[in-house]
Amino acid sequence: MQVVVQDTLVKEVTVTALGDDAGVRSALLVFSELDSWLIGPIEQSLAAEGVALAPLLCSRESEPPSFGNVLWTAQIAGKQPVPLWLNWNCGHDGCGIALQSSPSQSELAGIECVGRS
């Protein structure tokens, strides 16, 4: 799958739907070959599409640009809010960025703020 974020083509995006016979519980998008400066535009793109983000844990401003976590409550008008977890890790060959809706309770318990906010 190819995605464009603010006029930049993201070459590799892996989409995984997690669930059971009752339906999809969570969706995970993993972006590779991405620069850390695109983390802000991902957040802005969600807001532009009508997703209201309220901070729950960590903040993009206090997390280091090389790796970190942000946890929001995401809500679309008329829908139940869900946790939305953004996590990134950048090295010399680019960044791996994952965006996951409705992470499990064990995943939520393991989220730590690198910048301690």
Q: What is the pLDDT of residue 69?
A: 92
pLDDT in tens, the chain (117 residues): 556 666 666 656 777 887 888 777 777 777 765 555 567 777 887 888 888 999 999 988 888 888 899 999 999 888 889 999 988 888 777 777 788 888 888 888 999 998 865
What pTM was computed for the model? 0.76
Could you tell me the strand order of the sheet in which 67-76 lies?
12-20, 23-34, 94-101, 82-91, 67-76, 51-57
- What number of helices (H) and strands (E) belong to the chain? 2, 8
What distance separates the 2 farthest-apart alpha carbons in the chain? 42
Distance CA 80, CA 57 (A): 19
Is it true that domain 3-109 has CATH number 3.30.310?
A: yes
Q: What is the pLDDT of residue 112?
A: 92
Q: What is the pLDDT of residue 34?
A: 57
Provide the residue ranges of all domains of the chain, joining segments of one domain with +: 3-109
Q: Which residues contact 81 (CB under 8 A, 6 or more apart)?
A: 54, 73, 74, 75
Radius of gyration of the chain (CA): 14
Phi-psi region of 81 (alpha: psi -120 to 50; beta: other; left: phi over 0): beta
